[in-house]
Structure 1
Amino acid sequence: MASKCTKTKCVKSGKDNLQCIQCYQCENKFHIKYVGLRDEAFEVTRGFDSFKWFCDICLKKLCNVKTLSKIMLNSNSAKLDSLDRPDSKLSAEISTFKSDLKSSFATVGQEVKKNIECVNLEVKTVKKKLTESIDIKDRERNIIIFHLQEGEDDKIRVKNILLKLSDDIKDSHIKYVTRLGKKNESSTRPILIVLDSLMSKETVMKNAHKLKLMSVELSKVWISNDLTPEQRS
């Protein structure tokens, strides 16, 4: 039976539970689609053993603890001030109590701040990893051609080269061709080619070594995957 969902919580049931994410605080489970979590993001979070996800309600509670602590401190301080009397012993006891109370709240505040910083750090780490994964996914059908002499007919020349590499490559497989960067007389800009599928890209890469056999001009030309800055570093 499929999982039964309310507007906020998911009931654990069968394989559908694999598409749920559990709040670390309240331990309720939520459908990833309900909380706006993409499949790629969900897969990334499963790779982090220390990853802790909080639902909106619990996250708001966590962020409001520091504010609540300050409100409580101000309220208690006001009540203690109203108890001040000329009697020096009572004043000393109240002063000591206030000092201890402030110290306790300071400790709580520091712990809350530390926890929030840890959560923020993990969120940034997951966000960076997710961005990188999406970037890699977006580039998986792309190839880059280097050292092909620039000309007005770049697109036609690129298509002719790819069509000659393999009979399995058709004109319709080549979706987009463009030079990268600003034109510079001292260097040749690489060419970005977007293909229609990963299969077409793999066919091109498998036959890329044939470039050197086509002509002297193409002997120095080479084809590469479209890597992200993170992959190139």
Structure 2
Amino acid sequence: MISSISESTDLAAVLNAEPATAEDAAETPRDWLEGIWVGGTNYPLDAEATTETLAVLADGTAAAVWSPKGQFCKGDHRTGVQFEAAHWCVADVDSWTWGSDIRGVTRDWRTVRVWDANGYSQTDQYPTLEEAQAAFKREVEEIRVSSAPQADASTVRDLLAQDDDTTLAVSLEMGSPSFSMWGGELPEGWQAVVSREDVAAELGEKPTDAEVASYLPELQELVDSASQSL
């Protein structure tokens, strides 16, 4: 039983409720612009964004879209028999987590929340969906950059200058994820990023600046993955 609408899953659940009359069943969100009553609270709809198949709360905290029969939607409940039924589901959401639920960012339509495991939580509303999407990406990038060391050309050059048994690793020795070059077996708690052998096999012993630059995105993904495992 939904007692309030705080997110898109709540809105979708309300819209999926069995219509009380045939007249109710024939209505669309455009008929409810003045608001949807739930638990004694009225939730007005966004008159500009709402259509016959899209319901958007005026404050941007939730949006639900009509998903036709047989079409997958963004709701993770859409499996098996439910896949065959037309229904309302969340319209546009995003979620990203760094590490084992250490910190992350969520977006529900125009609402973006940044949180961490220490109880920090900041929620912001944006005037448009596009601005919220851009803010989500910006917050993700800010956390990603601050949570893992950033690989550059010198990282690759330094690794190739080491002995053959060297591994590029990340550790928390300095209090936050940082690079270390280590020969032999890694100390406990360190995470391997990539071996010198693998980098040399992919780039050669003396790669050009262009070859190193093209390899950096792949290397950064390895760094991010290793840092999240610390």
Say whether the fold is shared (TM-score over 0.5): no
Greater Rg, structure 1 or structure 2? 1
The TM-score bracket by the shorter chain reads 0.3 to 0.5
TM-score, L = length of structure 2: 0.32
Quick one: higher RCO (CA 8 Å, sep 6+), 1 or 2?
Answer: 1
TM-score, L = length of structure 1: 0.32
